[in-house]
Amino acid sequence: MTLTHLQRLEAEAIHIMREAAAEFERPVMLYSAGKDSSVLLHLAKLAFAPARPPFPLLHVDTTWKFKAMYALRDRAAAEAGMELIVHRNPEAEERGINPLDHGSALHTQMWKTDGLKQALDRHGLDAAIGGARRDEERVRAKERIFSFRSAGHRWDPKRQRPELWRLYNGRKAKGESFRIFPLSNWTELDVWQYVEARGIEVSELYFAAPRPVLERDGNLLMVDDERLKPGPGEEVRERWVRFRTLGCYPLSGAIESRAADIPGLIAEMRTGRQSERQGRLIDRDGTASMERKKREGYF
């Protein structure tokens, strides 16, 4: 019996999650309500069923996610019967940091990068399981499955450990931690095929629907609440759009589409042919901005 690629990827991800659960004192699973999070949560349930996954979920919130994502997050956590830790960087909250006034770089740095470190430190979490994939960005191609972070959450390429077979060395000293990526070997297409094959609930925002959007700097932004106001010459119009990646709504560019189901999405990937990060506004800051963010501790 030959396993399919989805079965093998699934088995590998489950194996990695169980290793994470067994090797760390207090692991956590990052959950952002995006498609990779949905897949990760599904795999976590598979890995430990009929018991519940032995770790909590952590959402590093920015207060700027789509409303639909918050709704999905709360529903999914409740259904899984898992504890959900929501962390918002108090300093960013106090100073009202937002992507519209402060730009994507500072917003992301304070809410997400600093927020994640704060949350891990505050709750004494020594391993964070995340849904990042090696195919997302070229600089991720060498990322480990167990990615070592020195004290202060810094990623140092020289201290990453060789990973052979299915053996992950999770030993560490106090203050050091790991990021763990069970979906390392998945591609975007694998994720969608898996979502389809297993009937996993993902955010409706991935599917085309008429949504109120305005056009800014060549991006279609969805007006998810009153904080995003049309500027001079901009108008809010109802258009058929969907999202390829989900983050803070003013930083997530929509694409015009009529694809309302997964085969439709996959068919559009065939002709659209743009890489996933294309719609992520935070990547535009510089050629190697992802790598810099990663060194600083961005997921």
CB-CB contact of 59 with 40 (8 Å)? no
Other beta carbons less than 10 A from residue 25's beta carbon: 8
Binding status of residue 7 toward other proteins by CB under 8 A: yes
Nearer to other proteins, 229 or 274 (CB): 274
d(CA 248, CA 97): 13
Contact flag: residue 36 with other proteins (CB under 8 A):
no
Integer Cα distance of 291 and 269 in angstroms? 25
CB 138 → other proteins: shortest distance, Å? Answer: 6
Nearest approach in angstroms of CB 275 to other proteins is 4
CB of 289 to other proteins, least distance (A): 9
Provide the sign of the torsion angle of the four alpha carbons 222, 218, 270, 36, taken in this order.
negative
Q: For residues 218 and 282, what is the distance between their CA atoms, to the nearest angstrom?
A: 14
- 284 near other proteins, rule: CB under 8 A: no
Q: Closer CB to other proteins, residue 94 or residue 171?
A: 171
Q: List the structure tokens of 166.
A: 């299915």
- Tell me which residue of 126, 78, 99 sits closest to 219, measured CA to CA: 99
Binding mask 150-169 for other proteins (x = CB under 8 A): -------x-xxxxxxxxx-x
**Torsion sign over Cα 65, 294, 15, 125:** negative
State which residue, 46 or 84, has the beta carbon closest to other proteins.
46
Indicate whether 236 belongs to the interface with other proteins (CB under 8 A).
Answer: no
Residues between 71 and 130 that touch other proteins (CB under 8 A): none
Q: Is 288 in the site for other proteins (CB under 8 A)?
A: yes
Tell me which residues in 40-59 interact with other proteins (CB under 8 A): 45-51
Closest CA to 180 of 12, 50, 296: 12
84 phi/psi in degrees, rounded to 5: -120, 120
Per rule CB under 8 A, is residue 10 in the interface with other proteins? yes
DSSP state of 160: P
Q: Does 174 bind other proteins (CB under 8 A)?
A: no
Work out which of 3, 71, 78, 151 binds other proteins, going by CB under 8 A: 3
Candidates 11, 71, 78, 151; binder of other proteins (CB under 8 A) is 11
Query: Smallest gap, in angstroms, from Cβ of residue 35 to other proteins?
Result: 16
Rounded distance, CA 11 to CA 9, Å?
Answer: 5
Using rule CB under 8 A, residue 283 touches other proteins: no
Interaction of residue 219 with other proteins, rule CB under 8 A: no
How far is 224 from 214, CA to CA, in rounded Å? 11
Q: Is there binding between residue 21 and other proteins (CB under 8 A)? A: yes
Four-point Cα dihedral 108, 34, 28, 125, nearest 10? 0
Binding residues for other proteins, how many (CB under 8 A)?
65
In Å, what is the CA distance from 207 to each residue of 156, 201, 242, 273, 295?
A: 38, 12, 5, 17, 33
> Which residues of the chain form contacts with other proteins (CB under 8 A)?
1-12, 14-15, 18-19, 21-22, 45-51, 134-135, 138-139, 141-142, 157, 159-167, 169, 171-173, 184-185, 187, 189-190, 193, 196, 263, 266, 269-271, 273-275, 278, 287-288, 291-292
